[in-house]
Amino acid sequence: LQVHPNGTYTVDANGHGTMTWTGMNGPKHRDFYIVNGGAELKWIITDPPGTNVIASNSGTMTRQ
């Protein structure tokens, strides 16, 4: 199953950003920082309470 959600993101001059998209169970929200000269993106779930979030989660995406 491949899903291609529609959404938006913003990034400030310090590398802090937010992203929002519509997932299978409604809107999803993440805060993130771009670090290591743009090579990594560190993110955390920021969905409000009661919005079908199964668990708190965070992670790192690394440029290949």
Q: What is the mean pLDDT of residues 56-64?
A: 85
More confident call, 1 vs 36: 36
Query: What 8-state DSSP symbol labels residue 60?
Result: E
Band the pLDDT of 14: cuts 50, 70, 90: very high
What is the DSSP track for 2-58? -----EEEEE-TTSEEEEEEEETTEEEEEEEEEEGGGTEEEEEE-PPTTS---S--E
Domain boundaries, the chain: 7-62
Q: What is the mean pLDDT of residues 7-14?
A: 95
The pTM of the full predicted model, rounded to 2 decimals, is 0.73
What is the reported pLDDT for 3?
Answer: 67
What is the reported pLDDT for 26?
Answer: 78
